[in-house]
Amino acid sequence: MNLPGIIGERLFNIFDKDKDNYVKEEEFIETVCLLFDPSFDKKLTLVFELFDFDRDGFVTKEDISIVLSHAPIDDIVIFVIKLSLD
């Protein structure tokens, strides 16, 4: 999937759990395991983190506006559908 810049950046931030701008091996493994976890709740958490642009623990209208204004809606819908079906 060809992710636009802001979505790629959001994914990087999800991988970078300790926010040091590097993805360590354990952060990578933890997040990849989350992607393949059959639990819908864990995938939902991942989508929440994707949309919580300012990382304040809330998804506000502004967060959604920022993410959606930078990404083709088709890519986001496909990403969310794939997460829910895997």
Report, in Å, the least distance between residue 50 CB and Ca ion.
11
> Which residues have C-beta within 8 Å of that of residue 30, sequence separation ≥ 6?
17
**Whose Cβ is closer to Ca ion: residue 64's or residue 78's?**
64
**Whose Cβ is closer to Ca ion: residue 60's or residue 82's?**
60
Report, in Å, the least distance between residue 25 CB and Ca ion.
10
Report, in Å, the least distance between residue 21 CB and Ca ion.
7
